[in-house]
Structure 1
Amino acid sequence: MKRKLIAAIGVAGMMVSIAACGGSSSDDDGGKKAGADGFKGQTLTVWTMSGSNPDGWTKTVTEEFEKKTQAKLKIEVQAWNGIQQKVTTALSESNPPDVLEIGNTQTPAYAKTGGLAELGDLKKEIGGAWPDAINAPSVFDGKQYALPWYFGNRVVMYNKKVFKDAGITETPKTRAELFKAFDAIKAKGDAEPIYLPGQNWYFFDGLLVGQGVEPVKKEGDKYVSNMADPKVAAAMDVYKQYQSYSKAPKDKDEATPQQADVFANGKTGAIIAMGYEAGTAIKANPKIKDDIGFFTIPGETADKPEGVFLGGSNFAVAAGSKKQDLAKEFLKIALSEANDGALVKEAGWTPKSEAMQKYAVGQPAAEAAGPAAIKSGGTTPLIAEWAPVENPPNPIKTYMTLVLQGKSPADAAKQVEGELNKRLAQKQ
């Protein structure tokens, strides 16, 4: 299944107030009994999303969990469509799933309701090597409410033949070198240097991360637009430079049409893509398979890659689960370095740390994604108020199109400010 690694899908319907319940330790509620068979006869229910848990990883984790705990593991795969309301409802009930996969930047909204258990001690035990940027989406109000499971970030997916025909023999290591390569492809005249539509919002969010700025700011006790910040304009200027090499529409995103399908025509030098988009391109044109390559999105200097948006999923434990001790045993196994590494190998996700880069060998997209994620990764604003902002039509996408169509960043920011503030003020 083609898998969209996009977090922060709208959760505006999240209005249920959920009372947090701590795990108990009695024999019949999932608390661990004394002895090696403390969990024998119990069943742990885990919700994962369609396309998230590949067969090899699932088999290994299930076997390890059941052997160690003598309990049964029941993984229930959920559809992405309508999942926010389904999770919200489940967390409000007396018998929720014990462990849930949730989009990484959705975590604050769920945590705010009181529906997630705190996992600070468990994070210290198994996640000491995770960089702050990777762990940050699991934290809300200073407390650990989830643990990072997997994530991915964008890389430059390029056509080796197009680059070679333009005389480019080495992959660019700086933004200036990349633009020089685009100039060479443009001068050659046989291909479009890059296909980049005007509303590739997650690439733009990475540029915001690179500039050290967020699209919102806090004023008093509320969040408001920060689109007029000069650093936002600077990020948009970089985007504009990229987009100047493209004939893509300025008012569409990378899914309209699917940019991988455009890349498949063999007349496109590069796209800013997730690794899985190579499969989409190959499906559209099998002949292009050997021409596809990847490299890290270069930054201003060679020592620091461009900022990237880290989209992915966390594992969380329901505060209402009566099997929290057993849930933690599952997380220790599921998030062990060996099983995290197996997930990188099998699914091509980005390694969580420098030490885990070894698991990306043989996964070209993951190899290219790792350096930027570890050195320059970030997310959308990690606030519960963020969720409605990205509901279509996303006002930040509107801002991008306005600037690309000729408006000044200041005027574009002013034009979208009212709608952005309105969304930030929606009740959660």
Structure 2
Amino acid sequence: MKLSKVLVPLLSVLLLAGLFAGCAPKGSDAPAASSDPKDVEGEITVITQRTDIVDTVFQDYAKEFNKLYPNVKINFQALADYESQIKIRMGTRDYGDVLLIPTSIPIAELPDFFEPLGTYEEMKSKYTGIEERMVEGNVYGIPVAMTYSGVIYNKKVFKDAGITQLPKTPDQFLKALQQIKDKTKAVPLFTNYASGWALTQWEADLATVAGTKEYVNVTQPNTDDNFTKGQPHYELYKIMYDAAKNGLIEKDPTTTDWETSKADLAQGKIGTMVLGSWAIDQIKSTATNKDDIGFMPFPTNASKVLVPLAGDYNLGINVNSENKAAARAWVDWFTEKSNYAVEQAGSISPLQGAKLPEILKQYGEQGAVFETLTPSPKGQEGIVDKIDKKGEIGLWQPDFKKRIIEAAVGNRPESYDTIMKDLNDAWVKARAEVAAKEAK
């Protein structure tokens, strides 16, 4: 089971855009919970992707919630393939009352499906990350957690391989992976190729490679050199390519299994995986010694080590809900009272002022910085998404990552530079077309 905002849709985004257009009416502001919780009543359905805890932890949440809101009945539904299943349901009006906003829905279309929760100005002093799901100053989602991305590793494997200092640069990281291969029986870097979605986790580390929080939303959409040598995207995926080419990944990537890989990392059969913080506790839960599981920032040559904080899935309210007050009560309680972000997502609460988890403190002491990405400038909201979709590049899809691995292991007759050139050509063309359209 996976928890991440970057779950990859299994249906074409372009086709879905047509499916979504005009199929749901816009709504008005979702009402805030009554000052007297007993006045809030109704039955709501909350849809989650947490198939692993929907019958346990979420039931406990409901009991605690009902102590405050006794007249609200909550039904939970968990979807194993959340993105594709929820988007099919969103072709109708019946997609629950509270749900996680699918990551592939264009930002501009959020008002067609979700209730505004308030203005950014009203909510920014309380929540972090809400600008990610904002349209014209209105917020449509609240992150269930603020996640960070990097490399989850097994400390014992590193020790057995003779790695005494954690690698900081790409060259140091690849050297460490080679040591694991030479001195242990563990798989140095497990890609989880077969899952598809796991490969998209690498994209979350783009800002770390760039070394600046402005790169993703400010610099990237304004450059024609997105995948050229020396640029963050090129350097990011070169690590993936080199690791695969040098035999430092799983022997048969096409047969990987996510659930098995978590246990294998926990038990020292795998050295590293590139994932978000949401996976840390899931991996620890299968470890004999939980202290064996560690986290390190993604390798970078940047002068500043930036660990970007990003919103995980965002909770939103169905614009068609008939019990919006009850739905809003659940959203507020869940984000403010459940402690889900820390206890179940292994991450950071979206509430302003939340403390860094213990696993990150050592990096703070070493000078690493933890910051949210700079939002797009006014007038360029969602521009990266538009270019990505127009060029069919798939920044948050697995296709070109699989292509990189296949080329590296010899299953495709092309070089890394060829792949990067194809991606950059598509980016340049799409960027020009989007700019021309925006200028009209």
TM-score higher than 0.5 here? yes
Q: Deviations over 1:271-319 (max 9, x none)?
A: 3345647756986xx7x64673212224437985466695732111122
In the TM superposition, 1:20-419 aligns within 5 A as: 20-22=26-28, 36=36, 39-51=39-51, 58=58, 61-63=61-63, 65-81=65-81, 82-91=84-93, 97-103=96-102, 105-108=103-106, 111-112=109-110, 114-121=112-119, 128=125, 130-131=127-128, 134-140=129-135, 143-150=138-145, 152-172=147-167, 178-179=173-174, 181-182=176-177, 184-185=179-180, 189-191=183-185, 194-197=188-191, 201-210=199-208, 211=210, 212-213=215-216, 227=227, 231=231, 232-243=233-244, 246-248=247-249, 252=253, 255=256, 259-260=261-262, 263=265, 266=268, 268-273=270-275, 276=279, 289=289, 292-300=292-300, 304-305=304-305, 312-336=312-336, 338-339=337-338, 341-352=339-350, 355-357=353-355, 360-361=357-358, 374-375=370-371, 382=385, 386=389, 394-399=399-404, 401-402=406-407, 407-415=414-422
Shift of 1:372: 8.2
Residue 436 of structure 2 is matched in structure 1 by none
Partners in 2 of 1:165 and 1:110 — Cα distance?
Answer: 50
Q: Distance in 2 between matches of 1:124 and 1:48?
A: 28
- In structure 2, what is the Cα distance between the partners aligned to 1:106 and 1:389? 13
Shift of the 111–22 alpha-carbon distance from structure 1 to 2, 3 Å rule, reads same
Give CA deviations for 1:84-133 in whole Å, capped at 9, x if unaligned: 33431343x6xx63322233x23536835711122233x655553544xx
Seen in structure 2, the aligned counterparts of structure 1 residues 256 and 308 have a Cα distance that, compared at 3 Å, is farther
Cα drift, residue 218 of structure 1: 6.8
User: Is there any run of 5+ residues in structure 1 with no aligned partner, and where?
Assistant: 26-30
TM norm structure 2: 0.67
Cα separation, 1, equivalents of 2:47 and 2:187: 42
1:401-421 per-position Cα deviation (integer Å, ceiling 9, x unaligned): 446758455422444679999
Residue 28 of structure 1 corresponds to which residue in structure 2?
none
Structure 1 residue 176 displacement after superposition: 5.6
Cα distance between partner residues in 2 of 1:240 and 1:342: 36
Task: Report the Cα distance in structure 2 between the residues aligned to 1:314 and 1:145, rounded to whole angstroms.
Answer: 8
C-alpha distance in structure 1 between counterparts of 2:138 and 2:255, whole Å: 35
- Matched residue of 2:297: which SS? coil
Matched, 1:13 2:16: yes
CA distance in 1, matches of 2:141, 2:422: 37
Runs of 5+ unmatched residues, structure 2: 376-381, 434-440
* Offset of residue 194 of structure 1: 1.9
TM-score between both structures, scaled by the size of structure 1: 0.68
Matched residues in 1 for 2:184 and 2:230: separation?
37
| Whole-angstrom distance in 1 between the partners of 2:221 and 2:263 | 40
1:108 and 1:293 map into 2 onto residues whose CA distance is 36
Letter in 1 for 2:183: G
Contact map agreement 2:47 2:79 (CA 8 A) in 1: no
Deviations 1:216-246 (A, max 9, x none): 9879xxxx99545862323233434554664
Assess if the C-alpha contact under 8 Å between 1:343 and 1:349 holds in 2: yes
Taking the aligned partners of 2:116 and 2:75, their CA distance within structure 1 comes to 22
Identity of aligned residues (%): 17
- Measure the CA separation in 2 of the matches of 1:237 and 1:385: 20
The answer (yes or no) to whether the contact 2:143–2:311 under 8 Å persists in 1 is no
